[in-house]
Structure 1
Amino acid sequence: MTGFDLARLLAERGDERYDLHARHLNHQLPRMLHTLGFDKVYDRAEGAYFWDRDGRDYLDMLAGFGVMGLGRHHPVVRQALHDVLDAGLADLTRFDCQPLPGLLAEKLLGHAPHLDRVFFGNSGTEAVETALKFARYATGRPRIVYCTHAFHGLTTGSLSVNGEDGFRDGFAPLLPDTAIELGDLAALEREVRRGDVAGFVVEPIQGKGVHPTPPGFLRAAQELLHRHKALLIADEVQTGLGRTGDFFAYQHEEGVEPDLVCVAKALSGGYVPVGATLGKDWIFKKVYSSMDRVLVHSASFGANAQAMAAGLAVLTVMEDEETVAHARHTGDLLRSRLAALVDRYELLHDVRGRGLMIGIEFGRPKSLGLRSRWTMLQAARKGLFAQMVVVPLLQRHRILTQVSGDHLEVIKLIPPLIIGEREVDRFVEAFTAVMDDAHGGGGLMWDFGRTLVKQALQTH
Structure 2
Amino acid sequence: MTTAESASPSSAAGKFDLGALLAERGAERYELHAKYLNHQLPRMLHTIGFDKVYERGEGAHFWDADGNDYLDMLAGFGVMGLGRHHPVVRKALHDVLDAQLADLTRFDCQPLPGLLAEKLLGHSPHLDRVFFGNSGTEAVETALKFARYATGKPRILYCDHAFHGLTTGSLSVNGEDGFRDGFAPLLPDTAVPLGDLDALARELKKGDVAALVVEPIQGKGVHEAPPGYLRAAQELLHRHKALLIVDEVQTGLGRTGDFYAYQHEEGVEPDLVCVAKALSGGYVPVGATLGKDWIFRKVYSSMDRVLVHSASFGSNAQAMAAGLAVLSVMENEQTVAGARATGDLLKSRLSALVDTYELLADVRGRGLMIGIEFGKPKSLKLRSRWTMLQAARKGLFAQMVVVPLLQRHRILTQVSGDHLEVIKLIPPLVIGEEDVNRFVDAFTDVMDDAHSGGGLMWDFGKTLIKQAVANR
Instruction: Specify the TM-score bucket, using the shorter chain as the normaliser.
Output: over 0.9
Report the Cα offset of residue 89 of structure 1. 0.2
Residue 399 (structure 2) pairs with residue 387 (structure 1): yes
Alignment of structure 1 residues 141-220 onto 2, 5 Å: 141-220=153-232
Q: Which amino acid aligns with 1:284?
A: F
Q: Which residue of 2 aligns with 1:41?
A: 53
Q: Which residue of 2 aligns with 1:72?
A: 84
Amino acid across the alignment from 1:309: A
Question: What one-letter code is carried by the residue in structure 2 that aligns with 1:90?
Answer: A
**Alignment correspondent of 1:32:** 44
Render the CA deviation track for 1:72-94: whole Å, top value 9, x for unaligned.
00000000000000000000000
Aligned to 1:57: 69
For structure 2, list consecutive stretches of 5 or more residues without a partner in the other structure. 1-12
Query: What's the % identity of the aligned pairs?
Result: 87
1:403 aligns to 2:403 (yes or no): no
Name the residue aligned to 1:348. Answer: 360
Amino acid at match of 2:246: A
Which letter does structure 2 place at the counterpart of 1:19?
E
Alignment-derived partner of residue 416 in structure 1: 428
Distance 1:20 1:168 in 2: 28
Equivalent of 2:252 in 240, 250, 255: 240
- Once residues 451 and 23 of structure 1 are traced to their aligned partners in structure 2, the CA distance between those partners, rounded to angstroms, is 25
SS of residue matched to 2:323: helix
Q: Which residue of 2 aligns with 1:249?
A: 261
Distance 2:354 2:57 in 1: 33
| Structure 1 residue 99 displacement after superposition | 0.2
Cα root mean square deviation, aligned = 0.4
2:183 alignment partner AA: F
Match among 432, 437, 450 for residue 425 of structure 1: 437
Structure 1 residue 135 corresponds to structure 2 residue 132:
no
One-letter code aligned to 1:274: V
Measure how far apart 1:53 and its partner are: 1.0
TM-score using structure 1 length: 1.00
- Alpha-carbon separation, structure 2, partners of 1:118 and 1:225: 22
Aligned to 2:301: 289
Deviation of 1:2 (Å): 3.0
Q: CA deviation at 1:136?
A: 0.1
Once the two structures are TM-superposed, the CA of residue 443 in structure 1 deviates from its matched residue by 1.4
Paired with 1:426 and 1:355, the residues of 2 have a C-alpha distance of 18
Give 5+ residue unaligned stretches, structure 1. none
Q: 1:457 aligns with which of 449, 461, 469?
A: 469
Q: Report the residue type matching 1:26 in the other structure.
A: N
**TM-score (ref. length: structure 2):** 0.97
The amino acid across from 1:17 in the alignment is R
SS of equivalent to 2:241: coil
Q: Which residue of 1 aligns with 2:376?
A: 364
The reply on whether 1:13 has 2:20 as its aligned counterpart is: no
Give the Å deviation of 1:17. 0.3
Aligned residue for 1:119, secondary structure, equals strand
How many residues get paired? 460
Instruction: Give the whole-Å Cα distance in 1 for the aligned partners of 2:233 and 2:279.
Output: 27
Match of 1:118 among 130, 141, 148: 130
1:256 alignment partner AA: V
Q: Measure the CA separation in 2 of the matches of 1:54 and 1:201.
A: 45
| Structure-1 separation of matches of 2:319 and 2:112 | 9
Question: How do 1:72-111 and structure 2 match up within 5 A?
Answer: 72-111=84-123
Aligned to 1:273: 285
Question: 1:266, CA displacement in angstroms?
Answer: 0.1
Superposed CA offset, 1:281-336 (max 9, x none): 00000000000000000000000000000000000000000000000000000000
Letter in 1 for 2:46: H
SS of residue paired to 1:199: strand
Q: Which secondary structure state, in structure 2, belongs to the residue aligned with residue 127 of structure 1? A: helix
- Distance in 1 (CA, whole Å) between partners of 2:429 and 2:448 is 28
CA distance in 2, matches of 1:399, 1:405: 19
Q: Given the alignment of the two structures, is residue 229 of structure 1 paired with residue 219 of structure 2, yes or no? A: no
Give the secondary structure class of the aligned counterpart of 1:163: coil
**What is the CA-CA distance between 1:144 and the residue it aligns to?**
0.3
